[in-house]
Amino acid sequence: RLRTAYEAAVARALQPLHEAYERELRKLQDSHTRSGNLDAALAAKQELEKLTTKSAGARPSSTPARDSEAFFVGKSWQNPTGTVFTFNQDGECTREHSGTRTVGRWRRRGSIVEATEKVPQDARYFRFVSATEAYVGNSPDDVKTPLSLK
């Protein structure tokens, strides 16, 4: 149990670094692709593949194989202001606050989950660390507001 707690703490500490590196590699790949430098774009893509494969293999054995989907699919999470976010297996998500229910879609973006709504056009970003720890933000770079499992 101590080892599992240690591995989870290390994963939480390293996650922001992995996310920043992945984000910068994606920007670099996009930039090189747009400028026609396909060799450099391919090198960035290969590095991204190594990073995502390594991240998947470095997870503690108690972490589900499908990344953190087991932490949020079929569950509801609440932010400090009382807004409740529910994520369904089919990719649908709902946001409920003060009696108003808004339906949207969720999708994975690396280690971040993006939930978008059609009306109003809006997006929120989530990071699920464990079965009891998650965060939300208004941009992929600012996922810091804690959530609690409802």
How do residues 1-56 score in pLDDT, each as one tens digit?
Answer: 888 888 888 888 888 888 888 889 989 998 998 899 999 989 998 888 887 665 55
pLDDT at 118: 76
**pLDDT at residue 63 greater than cutoff 80:** no
Residue 141 pLDDT = 86
> How confident is the model over 63-74, as a mean pLDDT?
66
d(CA 66, CA 70): 7
**What confidence score (pLDDT) does residue 124 get?**
93
Would you call 94 helix, strand, or coil by DSSP? strand
pTM above 0.75, yes or no: no
Higher pLDDT, 103 or 130: 103
What DSSP line would sit under 32-78, residue for residue?
HHHHT-HHHHHHHHHHHHHHHHHHHHTS-TTS-SSTTHHHHBTEEEE
Q: What is the pLDDT of residue 104?
A: 93
Q: What is the pLDDT of residues 72-111, one digit of tens each?
A: 999 999 999 999 999 999 999 999 999 999 999 999 888 8
Q: What was the pLDDT predicted at 61?
A: 41
Nearest to 128 by CA among 49, 19, 51, 24: 19
> Which pLDDT belongs to residue 60?
42
